[in-house]
């Protein structure tokens, strides 16, 4: 679903997770983005590089720690995020309606998926 919506916006699911992480903050380090985006290392760096080349995000050296590089959502990136978030919200409402019509509690499905998504603490 996210990949289909992202394709219409020229993004993939990884790109969306990065933009979504950045939309909630005022600049994040690569390790903070990795927590939200579920990827790290070279894969995350390539994805951020791609978003930088499209002017959706930009990097700046941290003010408190000059060794740290922070990534920020650009105004164009914020617009892209807002547009894609609206499309994703519409798709989520469609899924909720279909589950309800099938007699399935959408909130129960959301809880199960959330539990599956969250890393296990006992590992």
Per domain, the residue ranges of the chain are 2-117
Q: Cα torsion at 63, 64, 67, 69 (round to 10°)?
A: -50
Please tell me the least confidently modeled range out of 80-89, 95-104, 112-121: 112-121
**What pLDDT digit, counting tens, does each position of 44-80 carry?**
999 999 999 999 999 999 787 878 899 999 999 999 9
**CATH fold for the domain made of 2-117:** Arc Repressor Mutant, subunit A (1.10.10)
pLDDT value for 123 = 46
Q: Is the pLDDT of residue 31 over 50?
A: yes
How far apart, in Å, do the first and last CA atoms of the chain sit?
30
| Percent of the chain residues past pLDDT 70, beyond the cut | 94
Global pTM value: 0.81
**Cβ contacts of 41 within 8 Å, gap of 6 or more:** none
């Amino acid at each position: 679903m996210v990949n289909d919506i992202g394709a219409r916006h020229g993004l993939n699911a990884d790109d969306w997770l990065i933009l979504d992480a950045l939309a909630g903050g005022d600049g994040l380090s690569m390790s903070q983005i990795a927590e939200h985006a579920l990827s790290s290392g070279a894969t995350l760096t390539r994805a951020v590089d791609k978003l930088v080349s499209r002017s959706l995000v930009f990097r700046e050296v941290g003010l408190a720690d000059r060794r740290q590089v922070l990534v920020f959502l650009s105004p164009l990136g914020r617009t892209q995020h807002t547009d894609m978030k609206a499309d994703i919200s519409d798709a989520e409402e469609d899924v909720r309606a279909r589950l309800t019509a099938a007699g399935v509690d959408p909130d129960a499905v959301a809880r199960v998926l959330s539990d599956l998504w969250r890393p296990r603490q006992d590992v």
